[in-house]
């Protein structure tokens, strides 16, 4: 699949809309990301945006049980977790322009109405809301930086809240002509009792789309089983779609196989042909194939425990999960990720629950619930020298546990958990103290960090100056810094402007590092996060050392 191609940059911006039908969570984000991956591998400049129909301004105030992980862009926007997929598949940074909610659309329209921009006219869904949606759709295209802009419409066709977006897509299809295309993702269920695949849900879904004036150009059929060609032709006939534009998306072991499966069915070529763009050669996927080859060839396993309070919902830690998979793959290992509920972890069961782990990640989060279990886990891993990685609140818990059990400050805490703590080793950031609105007001986005040259963190990154993304209100209290460092916990990373401590580590341990920032957000298939790669490497070395020790004991 590796063929040298010409980079094409003079193509008029093309808009591809991805809608979904039948049921939610079919994987519109993965299909969008896979197509973007293929087009980018052909030399085109591609970005993806997500339009979410909920009225929240952004997912920053949503409970992870409601919406999964809140992803953070480099410019500090709290975004839908699908933007993480976009970046992991394309290796291109997203911004606030890549994620728009109904809340933002209505807020913008209401602000304009209050300013008098509409000159006293009655403000309505059509044209005012739809015009605002269309303006946001085309915003990225007006920069001239992209050849293709893929727009994923959240929700499912037939949802009331999605109707303004679909109407906007209908209008744009007419306005943009050949520069617009619609891909519709539907579900073809397999009825086990009848031993049959059923096409009616797809037919009804397309009919609903047609009823609002949109004829899909391409159908992608999500399915657990192979769909016979005769059935795909039947679907094409009933849905007014060309037979070669009906593509199946069969479940695969890894989401990173989806671009290859889509290319095997010529999705990228179909899109280019339908948009009157010449198809030149093959996409250059050699780096992607290298990753998949390592993923499939790995015959050893590294076992990582993730301690958090949202482990019932794995999407709450989606970026961490994927960063660990990238790191394990590039270390030539399979990942065995075990979720450990911090609310159920205590001193009586910690040894049992952490048994057999090669490394432990203490997850980010907010609030008191489950915090004591994180302290117990950290004390155990620190005393038993198990590779440990604390992220955001996980790093803060490292600091608190160390203060209590090493510095001898039994009441040390974060003011988030106890505003009256006598030893506020984690304090509210100064600029956060007068903030009352919770949405979009944390320390958000990418900030510079300078690492001590002799630190393990600097060694992992291969440099002393980095930039990583933040999402927090509380920080390490520098009033305690000398006491921590005298006792062995080094503050090896800080923001050069504010002197905010961003990385702590215990240099006398195999690997015991905490970061105030979120390195998982920057991990992609082609550029795995260095700190995760180094953490997993340390976990593998620990596993091998433990095995050697066990063999020696048996021989003795």
Q: Are 262 and 250 in contact (CB under 8 A)?
A: no
pLDDT > 50? residue 7: no
Q: Which residues contact 134 (CB under 8 A, 6 or more apart)?
A: 168, 171, 172
Sole residue written with tokens 């992609």: 524
Mean pLDDT for 163-189 is 95
Cα–Cα dist 538/556, whole Å: 27
Mean pLDDT for 455-484 is 95
Task: Give 3-state DSSP helix, strand, coil % of the chain, rounded to 5.
Answer: 45, 20, 35
Instruction: Tokens for 463, please give them.
Output: 């440099």
Sole residue written with tokens 């063929």: 3
The pLDDT of residue 555? 64
Mean pLDDT of the chain: 92
Instruction: Tokens for 202, please give them.
Output: 């797809």
pLDDT > 90? residue 312: no
Sole residue written with tokens 């608190």: 400
**pLDDT band (50, 70, 90) for residue 263:** very high
CA distances 540 to 184, 386, 536, 545, Å, are 43, 11, 6, 9
The pLDDT of residue 17? 98
Cα–Cα dist 122/432, whole Å: 39
Mean pLDDT for 485-499 is 95
Query: What is the DSSP track for 235-302?
Result: HHHHHT--GGGEEEEE--S-GGGHHHHHHHTTHHHHHHHHTT----S----HHHHHHHHHHHH--SEE
Mean pLDDT for 454-480 is 95
Lowest pLDDT segment from 21-30, 66-75, 173-182, 429-438? 429-438
pLDDT > 50? residue 9: no
Mean pLDDT for 285-293 is 97
Q: Are 158 and 208 in contact (CB under 8 A)?
A: yes
Spatial CA neighbour of 157 closest among 216, 114, 69 = 216
Mean pLDDT for 207-221 is 96
The residues annotated with a catalytic role in the active site are: 392, 518, 520
Angle between helices 130-139 and 102-115 (to 10 degrees): 110
The pLDDT of residue 470? 94
Instruction: State which H helix or E strand residue 210 sits in.
Output: helix 200-211
Residue 123's CB is within 10 A of a number of other CB atoms, namely 14
The pLDDT of residue 4? 42
The pLDDT of residue 306? 97
How, if at all, do strands 474-476 and 424-428 pair? antiparallel
The pLDDT of residue 553? 64
pLDDT > 80? residue 552: no
Q: Which residues contact 126 (CB under 8 A, 6 or more apart)?
A: 164, 167
pLDDT digits (tens, 9 = 90+) for 501-530: 999 999 999 999 999 999 999 999 999 999
Mean pLDDT for 131-141 is 94
In the chain, DSSP finds a helix count (H) and a strand count (E) of 18, 23
Query: What is the DSSP track for 129-164?
Result: IHHHHHHHHHHTGGGT--SEEEEEE-S-TT-GGGHH
pLDDT > 70? residue 441: no
Lowest pLDDT segment from 66-70, 91-95, 116-120, 548-552? 548-552
Indicate the SS3 state at residue 3. Answer: coil
pLDDT > 50? residue 3: no
Percentage above 70 pLDDT, the chain: 94
Indicate the SS3 state at residue 117. Answer: coil
pLDDT > 60? residue 144: yes
Mean pLDDT for 253-276 is 96
Residue 409's CB is within 10 A of a number of other CB atoms, namely 18
Q: What angle do CA 268, 271, 274 make, to 5 degrees?
A: 150
Q: Are 496 and 296 in contact (CB under 8 A)?
A: no
The pLDDT of residue 554? 65
Q: Are 206 and 171 in contact (CB under 8 A)?
A: no
Instruction: Tokens for 348, please give them.
Output: 């009586």
pLDDT digits (tens, 9 = 90+) for 333-391: 999 999 999 999 999 999 999 999 999 999 998 888 889 999 999 999 999 999 999 99
CA distances 182 to 83, 172, 227, 401, Å, are 20, 11, 22, 53
Burial of 158 (0-12, 13-18, 19+ CB in 10 A): middle
Chain centre distance of CA 342: 22
């Amino acid at each position: 699949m590796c063929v040298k191609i010409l980079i094409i940059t003079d193509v008029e911006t093309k808009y591809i809309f991805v809608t979904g039908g039948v049921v939610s969570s079919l994987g519109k984000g993965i299909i969008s990301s896979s197509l973007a991956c293929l087009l980018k591998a052909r030399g085109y400049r591609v970005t993806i945006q997500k339009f979410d129909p909920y009225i929240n301004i952004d997912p920053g105030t949503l409970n992870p049980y409601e919406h999964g992980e809140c992803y953070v862009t480099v410019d500090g926007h709290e975004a839908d977790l699908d933007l993480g997929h976009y970046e992991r598949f394309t290796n291109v940074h997203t911004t606030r322009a890549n994620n728009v909610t109904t809340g933002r659309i209505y807020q913008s329209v209401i602000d304009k109405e209050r300013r008098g921009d509409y000159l006293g006219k009655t403000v309505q869904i059509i044209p005012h809301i739809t015009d605002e949606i269309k303006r946001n759709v085309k915003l990225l295209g007006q920069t001239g930086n992209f050849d293709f802009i893929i727009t994923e419409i959240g929700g499912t066709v037939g949802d009331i809240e999605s109707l303004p977006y679909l109407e906007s897509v209908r209008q744009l299809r007419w306005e943009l002509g050949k520069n617009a295309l619609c891909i519709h993702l539907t579900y073809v269920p397999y009825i086990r009792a009848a031993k049959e695949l059923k096409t009616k849900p797809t037919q009804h879904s397309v009919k609903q789309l047609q009823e609002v004036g949109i004829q899909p150009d391409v159908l992608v059929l999500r399915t657990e089983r192979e769909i016979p060609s005769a059935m795909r032709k039947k679907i094409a006939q009933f849905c007014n779609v060309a037979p070669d534009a009906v593509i199946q998306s069969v479940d695969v072991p890894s989401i990173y196989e989806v671009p290859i499966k889509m290319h095997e069915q010529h999705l990228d070529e179909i899109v280019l042909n339908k948009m009157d763009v010449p198809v030149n050669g093959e996409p250059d996927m050699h780096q992607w194939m290298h990753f998949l080859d390592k993923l499939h060839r790995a015959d050893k396993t590294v076992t990582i425990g993730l301690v958090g309070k949202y482990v019932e919902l794995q999407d709450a830690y989606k970026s961490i999960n994927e960063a660990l998979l990238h790191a394990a793959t590039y270390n030539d290992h399979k990942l065995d990720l075990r979720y450990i509920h911090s609310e159920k972890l205590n001193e009586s069961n910690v040894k049992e629950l952490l048994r057999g782990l090669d490394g432990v990640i203490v997850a980010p989060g907010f609030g008191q619930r489950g915090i004591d279990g994180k302290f117990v886990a950290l004390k155990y891993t620190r005393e038993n020298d198990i590779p440990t990685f604390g992220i955001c609140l996980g790093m803060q818990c490292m600091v608190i546990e160390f203060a209590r059990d090493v510095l001898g400050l039994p009441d040390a805490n974060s003011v988030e958990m106890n505003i009256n703590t006598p030893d506020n080793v984690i304090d509210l950031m100064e600029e956060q103290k007068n903030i009352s609105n919770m949405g979009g007001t944390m320390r958000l986005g990418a900030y510079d960090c300078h690492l001590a040259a002799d630190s393990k963190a600097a060694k992992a990154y291969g440099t002393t100056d980095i930039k990583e993304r933040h999402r927090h209100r509380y920080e390490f209290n520098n009033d305690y810094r000398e006491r921590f460092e005298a006792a062995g916990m080094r503050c090896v990373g800080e923001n050069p402007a504010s002197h905010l401590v961003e990385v702590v580590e215990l240099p006398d341990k195999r690997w015991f590092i905490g970061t105030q920032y979120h390195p998982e957000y920057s991990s992609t298939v082609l550029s795995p996060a260095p700190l995760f790669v180094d953490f997993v490497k340390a976990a593998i070395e620990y596993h091998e050392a433990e095995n050697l020790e066990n063999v020696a004991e048996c021989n003795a």
